[in-house]
Structure 1
């Protein structure tokens, strides 16, 4: 009987090693990519405007399969792209600026946060690249503080719809200072 038990021991050890290897691969695959710095010449994926020439929060999407980075001059443009039927159900990695941690006129990329965990203020008096924008914040309390000063409505990522993006764009001011 002892020789039979010893023959199963190596197979059992191999199976344990296999399971450990599989779990490590799952953890590696689940890691999300880090945000990418927005360079001075980068153009918005939706409108083609130079991203850094405009105030307000920006956005970026890193596609799930190809790991392609798409950058946006405003959170409004990022949501316009994300809410398209071909993108809405994908698990892309999304980043936006935490505007409680950076300047409105020139957001710093060290303040990029997970867009799905952020809170947004829609309809405020603050303008971004595309006129009214969705001001993004890491906490609901920071979003509410911003709303008290500039107006608007606080929303979670899941609550944003195309209707929140359908504000008029002041075309006369869009290309000022270019």
Structure 2
């Protein structure tokens, strides 16, 4: 299920690189995913959520087991209350956003409570897209400062740009950045509440 993809290690890309574009190019009629979200979590409201952390060099994805920092694309982290994901300390770590949501849906159904959900914020980094093996890939960013709460982003869903595990949810804290990315690379726009199991099932390889 988890075959390795061509990678841009530590944010470095081989092949043709395309620098980050910040001009607003989106059309007024851009499609938006409008499905209703069903994620829970958030803690008891009396304490601050844990801060995002830098993904360790040897950390692997909770879903597919691949070493996260060796491959391109969005990363994600989820902290759970009184739980140890796969037997290690929080957070649960992922090499794609859609796998993080898949994992969250499963754990939510098992009664786990998420207290913080972070995704790569492509509005906060100088990312690159590049061609490799016929695919258009996007760089990986794993430092704590590059993460933002999943509730504070606009996602570009199912664009032509891929990460480690194929087409993904690419997050921007600035909606205009998401619209610009969508205009250039296709896909649709949604937010955290619009990510459902059906949306996730349409992503990946």
What residue ranges of structure 2 are gaps of 5+ in the alignment? Answer: 1-43, 84-88, 128-137
Cα displacement string for residues 59-86 of structure 1 (whole angstroms, at most 9, x for unaligned residues): 0001123472100011011011112242
Cα distance, 1:53–1:167 mapped onto 2, change above 3 Å: farther
Which of 142-151 and 87-96 deviates more? 87-96
Q: TM-score, normalised by structure 1?
A: 0.73
CA separation in 1, counterparts of 2:188 and 2:112?
25
What residue ranges of structure 1 are gaps of 5+ in the alignment? Answer: 1-25, 171-178
1:53 paired with 2:75, answer no
Equivalent of 1:130 in 165, 168, 183:
165
Structure with greater Cα Rg: 1
Alignment root-mean-square deviation, CA: 2.2
Q: TM-score, normalised by structure 2?
A: 0.64
Equivalent of 1:142 in 168, 177, 180:
177
CA separation in 2, counterparts of 1:89 and 1:159?
21
Equivalent of 1:81 in 99, 103, 106:
103
User: Which structure has greater strand proportion?
Assistant: 2
Cα distance, 1:69–1:105 mapped onto 2, change above 3 Å: same
User: Which structure has greater helix proportion?
Assistant: 1
If asked which structure has higher relative contact order (CA below 8 Å, sep 6+), I would say 2
Report the number of matched residues. 144
1:42 paired with 2:59, answer yes
* Secondary structure class of the residue paired with 1:126: strand
Q: Which residue does the alignment assign to 2:147?
A: 112
